[in-house]
Structure 1
Amino acid sequence: QTPAQQVLMSAADRWGLLGLLAMIKNADPDQALLSVGTDLGTMGLDMQQQGSLYSTFITPWADSSAAHTVEPDFHLPGCYNVQPPPPGPGKAAAFSDETLFFMFYSSPRDTLQEIAAQELYNRNWRYHKELRIWLTKESGTAPSQKVPGGEQGTYTFWDPENWGKERKEMVVLYADLEEKNLTAPPTATFAPGSVQQGPSQLQQMQMGQMSQLSQLNQVQPQVRGAFQGVSMAAM
């Protein structure tokens, strides 16, 4: 621009399209580089390439021979593509009673407590709401005697203070036992291509208990709060 053009150009034109056009026509390469930029093709970039440029382009100030030193794309090894573990609730069937009691007492008002309680119920444990203990009627013990609204006999309960199983003669009323629904044991899932193994001993025992429970329900009606799946007195 001549000095006369600079004087006649208003401030709006100087910073508008007219000012940009005048700057493009400027012969000074430094100002043109700052204002307009430069053609990327002059830096060795192939703009017609179908793909990302980061794998071959390091910096505009490096020569083309240095482009071969760019680190190649990283590929995840196949050994890391493993089958994710099953959800937490599905693992509860493989835990011991002691582990389930630890989950129940160490996770109050938590999902783990509910999962442990459901699995203990499936294993014929019942929660006494008044005594706040878990108790069960193990096989091989003396049969219980029927009393109005409950049973009387020797029961095995879990003592959280001494952290162990204890036996005690007591009267258990069905109304004092918390009610839950029995759930079927979870089925195992296998990764594609893996060798499927037979059911574990614990799963076989649970399937046998479920079969025995089904037979009892067909022979006699279910008593509210009663211990299912074990030898009881005449009900």
Structure 2
Amino acid sequence: MDGSRAGQSEFIMGGSSDGQQGMSAKNFGVHTLNRLMESDQKCRVTAQKNRPDVSVLALGLDLNTLDLRLTGMDPLYPQLGTVWAKTPPDVNRINNDVYTPACYDIRPPHDLYKHVHRLEEPSLFYAFYGMPGDEMQLAAAGELYRRGWRYHMDSMVWFLPDGAQPPMVHERYQQGKFHYWDKAKWCRGVRDSMTLISDQLEGEPELPDFMKRAA
């Protein structure tokens, strides 16, 4: 085996002369990239199996595996979701491996924030924790605040003063019995005695005008 072929096999198999897996200096650079691109199909398959991160950069992806419409003359970039897209991708067109009945193919209703006052606590917390950056997260935060919950910014946990045993409110802190929402168990928890620093509690969320009008 000549030196070029040996270097190619070493790169593809992930071996190295210094004993570190795939970290030989000769595995990097234009010469190794050129050898990999000119290698036969068997070597390419081996590379994709052993070093998928490197082979994708060197060989790219087969467009036939990306579910693109390749038969026409239209440009392909509108079919690809990127950070430069002018409009967000249509979630109803995203393909996945989960089969759902055709009758489930519906669009979500608009203006869900108008109905947050009807939601129970688990649904409100789902909207807050499960929809980051969405208007429903902000609407849920506003509704939780209206119901007496306060968001602790450091621990990222919602607390509610106990109604039967209201905590003692001082200038800089509150001390007493609090309920909290347990994200791990997805239910309420209770702490009989704890202290919350007032500066660590978020104030009332600032809702946009269209949410205020819907309230």
TM-score, reference length from structure 2:
0.43
Structure showing the higher helix proportion among its residues: 2
